[in-house]
Structure 1
């Protein structure tokens, strides 16, 4: 069995393909712990987990990697895969994987933009599609944009709204609480109308509740910054937004309603949402793994 792996910075996911359909495998691994032990240990743990779920040995893997990875980083990941005894290893660029999951490769011809807002960074990739093949036409990104940056905005809002003294910004325990609360609030606001953040500081409970409008206002500078890489990628591809045939969302941070609204306004249409954007890279890697040689 050949599996597809999205070795993300905030989460790792595994998928398989059978009968032309890709499916995500349930995992019971602590991603944060795996990251601390390096790629080889992480891949080994993911392989063992996949074998337990599938009930059969893993003989190979398609590893989805960031487009910006250097040849050295790609080589190091191959070595890690060999150390994890993954078998046959293939590397696949993440935007290609996301497009594969959404069936973009099945089109006779066209152009596709992959809008990938993950936990740690933001990437935009323009793909050319022809005769079942996809090729990168242009790309742009920002290494300091991602879900974590939106969490930081929520932390800033919390200090302002609760008047929590600024000296606690250097208190590791308080900031750890706030980081966890901010991340939880972001996920809650990705699916619901409001979220509450609570932090205990020296016996006092500081609380703030935000709705979607307040969340968007707090993150307005980040939303504005998301436009620049998109415009740069389109400029490099020598395309206008209305010349794109498909928009694909990838990365869990694109689940935020304000991000989806911004994308719809920028391109004048709704993006492709056939799969959870958190899962599309792993699913696409599995599609590639199951494709005829």
Structure 2
């Protein structure tokens, strides 16, 4: 579990008598940057031993330097702060078939990994989207599942299979084949799911996004009414946003992706205590 990166974990304690004779803070900061430029990453314990101060002093140094944008704190240490990575804005939603072909290997790996995780649950809420659709294909022979969805594509895919399928009633968004509206929301708001699996159009350090207001309303129902909340996102969607921010990382428990997130997103996920899982390629399972 990643350490809590909130400011409260670095209390302002007075320096010990031993530490008063050590390097002043500006010189420690310079030494820290020197080490980062050489190694790329540093550890709290290693720096404390080298500079002759406590771990707490180093943590305070790293916190101050992070506030100044000089580094990014990670579990047990820090890494160099990347130059700001631009966020791409997707103003239009691509067609479902086009999205299904885009990054298909990564999405297939994520879908298989996620399906294997949730087979032990009973009441599962499954969002619309291409990766959730691929995941549903792995659940066809799972007899004990009660699967709740607002995706007519998922319902059709699993028709005649093992799971019991429950579809929200409401208005249909034709291209996405998703059901939305006050009737659908009211139906699913009365339920409590063991686990919800959501898709997304992209994520930044601020949270995760979707193209449409309509589907976002149902995603938020799943988030409110589920014990375990899993987000599926292939790495091509890092640093991408679209029309609606669905939520922040504190709204989910787990992210399943195909590659390590970039540092700023990784730090935000760690701060929110999100369990990040990297799905191995399909051939390696």
Please say which structure displays the higher CA radius of gyration.
2
TM-score normalised by the chain length of structure 1? 0.26
Q: Which has more helix, going by share of residues? A: 1
TM-score normalised by the chain length of structure 2? 0.27
Identify the structure with bigger relative contact order (alpha carbons < 8 Å, sequence gap 6+).
Answer: 1
